[in-house]
Amino acid sequence: MRTTRTTTPARPVLTTALALALTLTTAGSLLLVHPGTAGADTGPATRDSPAVDDRRAAKSPESTARRALAATPARTAADARGYPREQTLAPDPVNPADKSLRLGLVPYHAIAGRLNALQRLGDRVSVEVAGRSAGGHRLYLVTVTAPESRAQARAQHRMRDLIERAPALAAKDPRLKSAYKTPVFFNSNIHGNEWEGTDASLRLIERLATANDARTRELLAHSRLYFNITANPDGRIAGTRANAGGFDLNRDFVTASQLETRAMRQIMLDKQPAVMVDLHGYVNGTLIEPTTPPHGENYEYDLFLKNTYANALGMEAAVNGLGYTPRKDGVEPAQIPFRDQQEGWDDWPPIFTPQYAAFHGAVAAHTVEIPLRVNNASYDTLPEAELRRRAAINTDVADAAMTATLTHVRRHRAALVADQIEVFRRGAAGAAQVPVSAGTVPGVPGIGPEDVYTTVFPRAYVLPAGGPATARLVDHLLANEIRVTRVAHAVPGYPKGSYVVDMRQPRRGLANALLADGRDISDKVSVMYDISGWSLGRLWGAAVRPVTDGRLPYSVLRPVRAAAPVAAVAPRGDLRLRLDDPRELAALNSLLREGVRVRQAADGSVIVPGSARRRAAEAARTYDVAFGRATARGTTPLERVRVAAAVTPGELFALREMGFDVVPVSTAVLNAGFDWSAVDVLFVSAGLDRDALDADARRDLDAFLDGHGLVGRGAVGAELNADAGLLPVTAVRGNEDANGVVRVVNSGPLTDRAPAHGFVYAPVWFTGLGSGVRVEQSYAAGNPLLSGHWRPAADGTGGPADAAGRPSVVSGPDAVLFGTEPLFRDHPKGEFSQVGRALLTMGSTQVEESG
């Protein structure tokens, strides 16, 4: 559940167009081979995307498609093995503590054995290990389809590539329409304590493996069905929503910080599903997307709504058709938010699995919330028999939803694939979006102006070559299969070495979602389900410049597969390392762990002695950072800073990413007795309440803060600061529903060279600044919100106007307080260094004083 703050097919014969378009070179690149020139060298012009007049390209979409095929490397041919792809999975040790057992569900340790048995049922089921979880558990991807020879699988592979890489050609190919197998993706158990999707999937796979009726044979002859059996095995075992790293995986798709998220991303990239269902719990009655407004402005919503709503109706009928009733079973009728609710369940951010899948061609993508609660307090308080009754009903509901989806796919596969092709065609051709309306989406009731969300895509984005932030962003774009080129020779407006994202590409929606500033949608709905602003350029500290019109200089653009390395070390003299990026903090902390004597300069950078050049070179390669030649001397000695952290899981992840030695603490940990001599500084944002400490724990905390520094974030950090009497300020809490990208003004050494934008989630600002308080950063004047949702509270206070011009980060001798969210869910990478510098400052102050 989302929680708010909410028989073997005939061998495909490739047509002339398909055969001409798809020739795999030994290097694995897709090159266009023109009639009469098979095997000829296409020459540098073809390989490097020659300059083409954009007006002519617009008139000839096939020309644009052929250029795309020529310029873009193909997916790996390893995916072209035939089916089935069977393997025997080694068993996992039996774990009697697995939380699934109490519900009568399949524990994680039994899944490998179940999958081995399913593979033995016939020739339709294949099992692959798609990756590992944060806790080290295997992630299983099951494919169910009619058997395919290696040649048939290669043909499917090529057709899938044609759909995404040359959609204008794919739309005209009759054999593709008849022979391509529609990809369908079922994702289960992404929230670990929402279990039953896994069990329903295993049940459905068994049925599909053995059924011999005509409809099943037809379905499997024309579809590939992919099942991610448990997306979050750590949480399934532990009975937690999050993975072993503490992350909600269904909020991670913009940044893909977690191993499980990257595995799901790769499934969507490799399999390119036209339909996907993400199984959750628990909403009674069963909640089936599509959603209420606002709708993501970057995807082709007319195609998405048409297909998602049609499939939702089928799922609704199937779920209600099970015969469960409110009076007898406690099960309410299913609901479709788009039809049945006004707002509160939006699909605005691509942090959720179905919304992210839409950018990879899923034209019907759903979150399905099965009905009866069995987690959290219910798990601990209800009798086991009642929990098992509920879990059995939930498994039936999840099964019904998936089975109905397969019926829809069997009946409408040609239209689903055609619409997927159209999503990619619009992107590649630079076509305008089609605003949703009753005319464009027939049969969908109640479409109004509140459902119309579109955007104007720029012609391109230019990312000037820079440091780690730019390299990180380029590699992230490439990991999402967004095409990026680099300028080989400078031309006006395009410096040599800069990166160019041509927005005439199939995944333009995702490219824009990651790179654009976004929109202030505060006036559109009263409250958002989750975050509503996330611009990676603004938040990661990378310069991103939109190009609104004109022709691109194709003659100087070269496709890239990875960002150029940043790593460098000045050949002589002492070395200077900027601390503007988490990688630079990680490099610094690695040197400190090795005992390198480092000093901090007045501008916040650090000076490394030339005698440590070899170690600096190792750090440069490891973290891909640059050590320049020092022109100033460091004044403040730095040592390793050991951090006691009462923080969110995302913040703990960020601190460790920056290489800090971190000891998690909380109210309970301190009450149990804590050795404060093992740490140098305290970072607090969550889970520590001084008033809830016993007398001994409170005394020990106060004694530590009397001689050591505090870094506080948000209301919890500010409250501890006030209780301890450290920094004379008053913290003002804004609307707790507010979130987004904000404009800020940096004015202190901790924020020197920081991005001019930050992120807020329940923003805080500071007033009543007393003696010795320095303003490090303030919210911008006017309306500081760039993109997201920030309204005043019901009483008219706490809005962006109240925050405008107010300090957002303040510091003093004993504390640094943040009113922004500089480490939020791995999103605002460009702000990480502010926290890193604050920890170093507070820790090194104590080193200096004690020295």
Tens of pLDDT, residues 343-368: 999 999 999 999 999 999 999 999 99
Averaged confidence pLDDT in the chain: 91
Please state the φ and ψ torsions of residue 556, each to the nearest 5 degrees. -110, 5
Q: Known catalytic residue: 618?
A: no
Q: How confident is the model at residue 69 (pLDDT cuts 50, 70, 90)?
A: very low
Query: What is the end-to-end Cα distance of the chain in Å, rounded?
Result: 53
pTM: 0.92
Which two tokens mark 174? 């009759």
582 near 502, Cβ under 8 Å? no
Average pLDDT over residues 193-213: 98
Q: Which helix (H) or strand (E) holds 502?
A: strand 499-502
Distance of CA 125 to the CA centre of its chain: 29
Report pLDDT digits (tens) over 598-633.
999 988 899 999 999 999 999 999 999 999 999 988
Looking at the domain 642-850, which fold is it? Rossmann fold (3.40.50)
Closest by CA position to 663, among listed 673, 672, 654, 652: 652
Give per-residue burial for 574-607: e unless 16+ CB within 10 Å, then b.
Answer: bbbbbbbbbbbbbbbbbbbeeebebbbbeebbbb
Q: Where in the chain is the domain with CATH 3.30.70?
A: 568-638
Cβ burial 184-210 (10 Å sphere, 16+ → b, else e)? bbbbbbbbbbbbbbbbbbbbbbbebbe
Q: At 845, is the pLDDT very low, low, confident or very high (cuts 50, 70, 90)?
A: low
Q: Who has greater pLDDT, 417 or 2?
A: 417
- 258-275 mean pLDDT: 98
Quick one: pLDDT at residue 20? 40
Structure tokens at 558: 């070269």
Q: Which of 216, 214, 154, 188 is nearest to 19 (CA)?
A: 154
* Per-position DSSP letters for 714-739, written without gaps between them: HHHHHHHHHHHT-S--EEEE--TT-E
| pLDDT of res. 3 | 57
Catalytic residue among 369, 651, 821, 831: 369
Top pLDDT among 401 and 846 is at 401
- pLDDT in the model for residue 634: 78
Tell me, what's the pLDDT at 75? 53
| Averaged pLDDT for residues 736-745 | 97
Of 66-80, 288-302, 535-549, 745-759, the poorest mean pLDDT is in 66-80
At residue 847, the pLDDT reads 43
What b/e readout covers 464-485, taking b as 16+ CB neighbours within 10 angstroms? ebbbbbbbbbbbbbbebbbbbb
The pLDDT, as a whole number, for residue 16 is 37
Q: Give ranges for CATH 3.40.50.880 in the chain.
A: 642-850
- pLDDT higher than threshold 90 for residue 129: yes
CATH classification of 568-638, choosing from 3.30.70, 3.40.470, 3.40.50, 3.30.360? 3.30.70
Q: Which residues pair with 145 in a beta bridge?
A: none
The pLDDT of residue 169: 97
CATH numeric code, 77-145+181-429: 3.40.630.10
Nearest to 406 by CA among 154, 222, 231, 596: 222
Report helix angle 384-429 to 214-221, nearest 10.
40
